[in-house]
Amino acid sequence: MTVFFANRVPPKARDAYRKDTISGMLGAVMLGLTAPFIAVIARKVLHASAVEIAILSMAPVAGNLFSLLWANIMEGRRKMPFAVWSWIAARSIFFLTAFARSSGLFVGMISAYYFIASIASPAYSAIMKEVYPDGDRARIMGYARVCTIGVYVLITAVASSLLGGDNYRIVFPIAGLFGIASVFSFARIHSVDNSGDSSVSLARFVRDGLLILRDDPGFRWFCAGIFIFGFANFMAQPAQTIYAVEIGVDTRWAGLYSILSASVMIVAYFYWGAYTDRRRPEAVVALQAGCWAAIPLNYVVATEPWMLIPTALISGVLGAGIELSYFTGVLHFAPPDRITQYQAVFLSLMAIRGMIAPFLGAVLQKPELFGEKGVFIVAAALILVSVVVQVIGMRKYTSLVSS
């Protein structure tokens, strides 16, 4: 099957690119039918509480708290089976949403999906490192994402009119079928990576992983800046969801935001892919984070659903680059034989912030404390602090691998 941009990919990576892109496009059908609507369905249809919204906010990263465990299990073994089977198990949960009639059950199922899917993250990083060449990786991944996002936009446009009331109980299981088909395509990528030492105990692996933050100061500052940036965003998410519903956002508006965001993301990937390959990840992340501060400030002034359109556009332009810069940033610092360990440490830190910040935000958004708009202002300030941290780290330290 011919896919867009394949002729721009180096010949040795072209077969992997095709299979990766087809997998991404099928996965985009799954995500387009589900992801933009999960929080709105939970709040507007199933009347989820602030705590349940906080759980949904932390769910995508909670499983990453176990990344060092997942990475240790994969050491010295082929990485592909871990990615394939965890994705199949996770995406099969969408079949069960046909029976989710309460907010608690719905939130629990979605949280389980994210938790199980997190097992694949260290394996996925190692596979991408293996199949795509250094110096071209972000650009190639950007091409794949353009194809993926194009499908995502089309599917979201259709799904936004289908997901009224409890129709999610029909649509989500259908999404699961496409998700599993996506896994089968990815599994066809030729990958033999079995890096790492399987004889290393979990205790030693975790200890060595934690020592990375002590022994690699450049990576430590990189992680610190991203930790603060992510903490601010996770803290604001429950208030953003609740405030959006209060000003009239429903599944149709959520679908529109997602379409607008994904549409500009398609164009942005062409820019960020090459830009990220040419520059240090700290500089890229600092630029993206500084611009991202406009998003919580947009919520401060928004009083109608249409006033959140700038947030959709900004998140689309920057979201494309943030995904690539995080990924390439870890590979920038990690020695070739420790990629899964570095990625596991990075994901564990993401999990910690993602599990604490939403609950803190859910508490602070109460009227007697900061209120929703107060939380947005604090989030914007923390994001700017993260920019300063990235700049300091970049000026003081370089990658131990490149030095």
- Residue 270 confidence (pLDDT): 78
What angle (nearest 5°) sits at the alpha carbon of residue 103, between those of residues 254 and 178?
A: 60
Q: Which residues touch 16 (CB under 8 Å, ≥6 apart)? A: 131, 132, 189, 190
Predicted pLDDT at 399? 63
Q: Which two tokens stand for residue 226?
A: 């991203």
Q: How confident is the model at residue 258 (pLDDT cuts 50, 70, 90)?
A: confident
What pLDDT sits at residue 185? 95
* Rounded Cα gap, residues 337 and 195, in angstroms: 6
- Provide, rounded to the nearest whole percent, the portion of the chain with pLDDT above 70: 98
Total number of residues shown for the chain:
403
- If DSSP codes are grouped into helix, strand and coil, which group holds residue 195? coil
Q: How confident is the model at residue 1 (pLDDT cuts 50, 70, 90)?
A: low
- Residue-wise pLDDT tens digits, 55-77: 887 888 888 888 888 888 888 88
**Global pTM exceeds 0.75:** yes
Over residues 266-285, the pLDDT tens digits come to 888 878 877 887 888 899 99
- Domain ranges for the chain: 11-396
pLDDT tens sequence across 308-335: 999 999 999 998 888 788 888 888 888 8
What pLDDT does 402 receive?
A: 57
Contact (Cβ atoms closer than 8 angstroms) between residue 239 and residue 43: no
What one-character DSSP code corresponds to residue 37? G
**Does the pLDDT at position 356 exceed 80?**
yes
Three-class DSSP category at 165: coil
Amino acid occupying residue 355: M
Average pLDDT over every residue of 20-29: 95
How far apart (Å, rounded) are the C-alpha atoms in residues 87 and 162?
25
Percent residues over pLDDT 90 in the chain: 42
The pLDDT, as a whole number, for residue 401 is 61
Domain at 11-396, CATH from 3.40.50.2300, 1.10.1240.10, 3.40.50.300, 1.20.1250.20: 1.20.1250.20
Cβ atoms of 202 and 69 within 8 Å: the answer is yes
Q: Which residue has the higher pLDDT, 198 or 311?
A: 311
